């Protein structure tokens, strides 16, 4: 039986793919398989992660059968477990990219917001539609939308439960780049692989500085620059890149992640 989530690698890049088409619904089997893949990535320490999906949709959202009959305590436990998964992805010390080729609802959209960068095909649409079952998005969606687009846009998107095209969310700074539908999967993979081949330790430092700014402001990030960026001068990547720049000019360096 095919797993609803697969994990493959392409050199330094790990690729998690939702493989339960056509809708990749987040039922318990998919959630368990996704959790296993995420924890395997954490154990294997790649230099980048791409999350994508097969089928006519990235995901139709959560299988509503999962909510039927839950008590408040059980509901709280479900969200705690799913948020732990979100936090694991968000805290990876390497770049993470989510590629949305089509409709991306609820849990999948929230997972995309835990990634560093969100790429979308022109035809992709996004929605947090939990109001149809009387819920608010509870895998971190509202708060991460607020980080990217501001609180008013986050409230609008959640309150209305409407579907928003990729171009609109690019204008709102939720989507990083909108790419052509034709060849989207290949372009997104190439984009993620290029980043994964970059200076991994420097990328980790960037992630830490941006997170510190979000938590405490620019001065809080300034306060950890020395401890975060100073050690990069001891890395093989920086030493090699500096020598490459001086000997051959910019853009010729290659990186190993060390």
Residue 136 in this model has a pLDDT that exceeds 80: yes
Name 228's Cβ contacts closer than 8 Å, sequence gap at least 6: 205, 208, 209
Name 124's Cβ contacts closer than 8 Å, sequence gap at least 6: 58, 100, 101, 102, 103, 104, 165, 166, 178
User: String of b and e for 106-119 (b: at least 16 CB within 10 Å)?
Assistant: bbbbbbbbbbbbbb
How far apart, in whole angstroms, are the C-alpha atoms of residue 106 and residue 88?
Answer: 18
Residue 122 in this model has a pLDDT that exceeds 90: yes
pTM assigned to the model: 0.96
| 3-class SS of residue 51 | strand
Q: How confident is the model at residue 57 (pLDDT cuts 50, 70, 90)?
A: very high
Q: What is the pLDDT of residue 23?
A: 96
Question: What are 226-250's pLDDT values in tens digits?
Answer: 999 999 999 999 999 999 999 999 9
Other C-beta atoms closer than 10 Å to the C-beta of 158 total 20
Question: What are 173-184's pLDDT values in tens digits?
Answer: 999 999 999 999
């Amino acid at each position: 039986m095919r797993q609803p989530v697969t994990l493959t690698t392409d050199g330094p890049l790990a690729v998690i793919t939702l493989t339960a088409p056509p809708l990749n619904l987040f039922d318990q089997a998919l959630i368990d398989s996704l959790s296993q893949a995420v924890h395997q990535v954490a154990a294997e320490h790649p230099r980048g992660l791409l999350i994508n999906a097969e089928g006519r949709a990235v995901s139709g959202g959560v299988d509503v059968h999962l909510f039927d009959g839950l008590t408040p305590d059980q509901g709280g436990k479900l969200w705690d477990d799913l948020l732990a998964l979100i936090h694991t992805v968000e805290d990876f010390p390497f770049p993470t990219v989510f590629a949305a080729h089509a409709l991306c609802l609820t849990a999948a959209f929230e997972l995309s917001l835990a990634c560093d960068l969100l790429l979308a095909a022109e035809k992709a649409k996004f929605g947090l539609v939990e109001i149809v079952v009387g819920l608010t998005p509870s895998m971190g969606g509202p708060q991460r939308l607020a980080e990217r687009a501001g609180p008013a846009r986050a409230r609008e998107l959640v309150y209305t439960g409407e579907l928003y095209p990729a171009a609109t969310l690019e204008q709102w700074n939720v989507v990083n780049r909108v790419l052509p539908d034709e060849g989207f999967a290949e372009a997104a993979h190439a984009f993620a692989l290029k980043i994964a081949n970059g200076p991994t330790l420097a990328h980790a430092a960037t992630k830490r500085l941006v997170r510190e700014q979000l938590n405490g402001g620019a001065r809080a990030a300034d306060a950890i620059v020395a401890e975060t960026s100073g050690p990069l001068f001891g890395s093989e990547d920086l030493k090699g890149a500096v020598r490459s720049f001086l000997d051959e000019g910019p853009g010729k360096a290659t990186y190993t992640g060390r």
